A and B are shown apart, each in its own frame.
Chain A
Amino acid sequence: MGMRGRLFAVVELAAAVGLVATVSFAADMGMMAAGQMKTAIAQAKAAQKAESLSVVKEHLQNIVNCIEGPKGAMFKAMGANPCQGNGLLADAKDAGGKYAMVIPWVELANENAAAGLKAAVIEKARASGWAVQNLLEHAEKAMMGQ
């Protein structure tokens, strides 16, 4: 194998490693996003069952934290963050493909959770929790290709 052949082989190897790393990163981000989605849905269900407005809002804040991640504009540290990673929105974008397609639904869920955080009555805050659950479940089905 000449010098030129070796050079090609090295370039091919580097490209293959790069491709594997990219695919693996996207898969990791996809798994991370799927986990955050499940946690946010569980929080939305908990919000609807909560007995006081402050507890409903705690769950809604957890949803915002899961969706936006620590760098989010509405992120508010409240003890342990139930979600890992950079936030559902960021991780879904990084995962690309079917994960990135659900971003409008996730954004909408985030806006609904934020509206619930501003609610003055428990009925409105719980209703927001219901809408968040429905939006995220719809997005989850699309993510899982159902």
Chain B
Amino acid sequence: MMGMRRVLAVALLIGAVALISTVSRAATMSAPEGLAAEIKIAAEQAKLAQAATSMKDVKVHLQAVLNCIERGMEGRCGNVSGGMMAHSKAMGAMASEAVAWTELSWDVAKVGMKATTMNKAKAAAWATQVVLEHEGGMVR
């Protein structure tokens, strides 16, 4: 019985250390690191939107893109907190350029959210992905 408790305690400790390390890594990311990580996740969501087979699913993925742009962890963008917009604004000399591209990806994803046809929503998802990848190339 005592042995089992010890194993459980060790497992819990390992889990806690892993969680702290993940959260702390996300919290200590610089603006370019955070932005690059969020762009990658958002671009992946834009790709998934294009592959989705229902309008509802296209929009779920486009909403995930918007969450990455606006809020980061609260809106679930991997384990990165802050959001693309906040990180873009913290990009120093590159801030105005980064903000412009982040706003553009938001505009395009938003058009997709308002779309009434799959073709239009998927076209918007394609454009969102292209814009995000272009921004990702600038941040790298």
A42 to nearest B CB, angstroms? 20
Q: A128 to B103, alpha carbons, bound, how many Å?
A: 10
A107 at the B interface (CB under 8 A): yes
B56 at the A interface (CB under 8 A): no
- Mostly, the A contact residues are helix
Q: Which residues of chain A are within 8 angstroms of B100 by Cβ–Cβ distance?
A: 119, 121, 123-124, 126-127
Q: Which of B96, B111, B124, B130 contacts A134 (CB 8 A)?
A: B130
Q: Which residues of chain B are within 8 angstroms of A121 by Cβ–Cβ distance?
A: 96, 100
* Contact (Cβ within 8 A) A112 B107: yes
Q: A71 to B117, alpha carbons, bound, how many Å?
A: 24
A-B contact pairs, 7 of them (CB 8 A): A111-B111, A123-B96, A123-B97, A127-B103, A127-B131, A128-B104, A134-B127
Chain B interfacial positions (CB closer than 8 Å to A): 96-97, 99-101, 103-104, 107-108, 111, 117, 119-120, 123-124, 126-127, 130-131, 134
3 cross-chain pairs, A with B, having the tightest CB-CB distances, nearest first: A123-B100, A124-B100, A104-B120
Chain A interfacial positions (CB closer than 8 Å to B): 104-105, 107-108, 111-112, 115, 119, 121, 123-124, 126-128, 130-131, 134-135, 138
